[in-house]
Chains A and B, each alone.
Chain A
Amino acid sequence: GQQLNQSPQSMFIQEGEDVSMNCTSSSIFNTWLWYKQDPGEGPVLLIALYKAGELTSNGRLTAQFGITRKDSFLNISASIPSDVGIYFCAGRVTGTASKLTFGTGTRLQVTL
């Protein structure tokens, strides 16, 4: 089955730094979603994107739906310790709206 390629796999950054991660696919998606997972919990939706080229923000988080519809990007500005966790991208295709395809995740660790 298809999984989305996420990079980087992990990153260590200092508090206050900006973070960028991306997700690529060989297939087109009509919806891109970004989730965050804290240890011992299920993923929580951060941002949803519905149109190619769309740029959407949620506080310090900004995500973009790639023009080709095969990629998406997530940026976190001025990172803080509570940003620690695993970030997943997920794609959804029209006609199969009941199914999400997930990326392999980016593990973020923030040091003081």
Chain B
Amino acid sequence: NAGVTQTPKFQVLKTGQSMTLQCAQDMNHEYMSWYRQDPGMGLRLIHYSVGAGITDQGEVPNGYNVSRSTTEDFPLRLLSAAPSQTSVYFCASSYSSLSAGASGGYTFGSGTRLTVV
């Protein structure tokens, strides 16, 4: 089924370890974003991309890197995991404009639940 696919669904890391959260979409969306969700705080934007080769920082970018080598993929890298990065991470994608059939809203993946101990 078309959509946003995130892997893994669950991950436990030790402090200081690094890892990459994978995100892929097959809807040919130009925009992709990473959010983290913490209790009582809604979703906060980490990094986003408006197209292949273009990325920018969101609200909470520290400790995370991204790259966008293709339209389909937008991996999120944790450089040196810290307990403060324990969260649920969502990848999302969207068309760039309100073209016919596009709602303007992002389509979200089902999330990666990350625990850093």
Contacts and interface: CB of A to CB of B under 8 A. Distances in A.
A44 interface: yes
A104 B42 CA distance: 4
Interface residues of A, number: 27
Contacts of A31: 104
B33 interface: yes
Chain B interface category by residue count = 20 to 34
Contact of B108 (A43, A48, A103, A104): A43
B18 to A, nearest CB: 24
Interface in A4-63: 4, 6, 31, 33, 35, 40-45, 48, 50
B74 interface: no
A105 B45 CA distance: 15
Contacts of B31: 97-98
Contact of A97 (B92, B96, B103): B96
Contacts of A88: 42-43
A100 interface: yes
B45 A100 contact: yes
Contacts of B96: 97-98
Given A1-B59, A33-B105, A102 B42 contact: yes
Contacts of A111: none
B98 A50 contact: yes
Nearest to B103: A48
Interface of B: 4, 31, 33, 35, 40-45, 48-50, 58-60, 90, 92, 94, 96-98, 103-111
